[in-house]
Amino acid sequence: MRKKLQHLGSLTILLLFGFTVTTLSAIPTYAASLTTTSITMNPDTEGVVNNPVINFTTIGAIPTNGTFALNFPSEFSLTGLVAGDITVAGTGITTTSKSISGNTVTVTITAGSAATGVDISVTFANSHITNPSTSGEYFIGILTYDSGASPVDNGSVKAVIDNANNANTANMKINAEVFQQCTMSLGTADIINLGSLVIGSDSIGSHDVTINCNAASFNFSLSDSVNGMYNGAVSFADATTAATNPTSATLASCVATNPQGCFGVHVTESYADTDLSCDSDLATATQYSGINDATAITACAGAGPVDANTNTITVAYGARITANSQAGVYTDTVTYTLAPTF
């Protein structure tokens, strides 16, 4: 009986030892850890659809038929995500194929390769990724492999999910460019506060601008070199329209096609003055025009010599967000230009 027990004990030890060795040998060995990674969340609000952009820089090369995988935490939903929603860019990468299994996205470089130090960008579209329902920090794993599926590098990128109830505010910063023979006063401040942004409502801020030129005629125009507010709201300027007749729309119609949020401007004369004419397309209170640098808006024009009256106009800005907009403070800088025309 003692011999049998001794034999059984030896067998148990051998089995345990064998299991331990097998488990350790299955752990992949990566050459290096990815240190340069980033993610842009569009938006970063909890529980809403998101079109993120993930970037990382290779340490070891990924050859033709090599792959990399993005492992999303289980709190993300990738339901409905297909290969056509994913765009991959990187120097040396010609074509790729993509596959989705559960919460893992795998990309194969089918033509070309990514050398050491290549910046790879993966852009998701069509709103088929849903953020976790709870705010916090989540880490998306990034793993790269050679053409034989042997590990190359590994790393992760931190996605920060914001609470949907975080306060959103917006303000416009104004720069003024005034040419000789002209004067401009921005009133009490060069920052226009739009206040708290509420989902589904227009948030408005305005100020009076006093302009005058000792010239036969002059133009008052607005431009925005960024063409978008920080935090993702977009200006909905139509770059194909003439500068003196910008396309306008309601903010509600804008967010229907721009779910990250929209902002725009409208301009009115403070009183009737035959020396000053502002674009009627911008004068309707619910209509706004987008602003960008390429298509500066000529909002008002002075015709004929200026009389003793002061030319005062009201410039109003509106912003509107949706449940898909990023939480936080929205800011943008707009330049006013007052110039004589001869």
DSSP states along 19-50: HHHHHHHTS---SEE---EEEE-SS-BTTSEE
User: How do residues 159-202 score in pLDDT, each as one tens digit?
Assistant: 988 776 556 777 888 888 888 888 888 876 678 888 888 778 88
Is the torsion defined by CA of 48, 73, 160, 91 positive or negative?
A: negative
Q: Is the pLDDT of residue 243 over 50?
A: no
pTM: 0.53
Write down all domains in the chain, each with its CATH number in brackets.
30-161 (2.60.40.1290), 169-341 (2.60.40)
Residue whose C-alpha is closest to residue 177's, from 168, 190, 161: 190
DSSP 98-123: EEEETTEEEEEEEEE-B-TT-EEEEE
Q: Is the pLDDT of residue 318 over 70?
A: yes
Question: How many residues belong to the chain?
Answer: 342
CA 50 centroid distance within chain: 10
Q: Is the pLDDT of residue 149 over 80?
A: yes
Average pLDDT over every residue of 265-279:
72
20-47 burial code (b ≥16 CB/10 A, e <16): eeeeeeeeeebeeebeeeebbbbbbbbb
Question: In whole numbers, what is the pLDDT of the chain averaged over residues?
Answer: 79
At 143, the pLDDT band (50, 70, 90 cuts) reads very high
pLDDT score at 307 = 52
Burial class, 219, CB count within 10 angstroms (exposed 0-12 / middle 13-18 / buried 19+): buried
Element of type H or E holding 12: helix 2-25
What is the number of H-type helices and E-type strands within the chain?
2, 25
Least confident of 10-24, 106-120, 257-271, 325-339: 10-24
Q: Calculate what percentage of the chain has a pLDDT beyond 90.
A: 31
How many CA atoms lie within 13 Å of 292's alpha carbon, on the beta-carbon side? 16
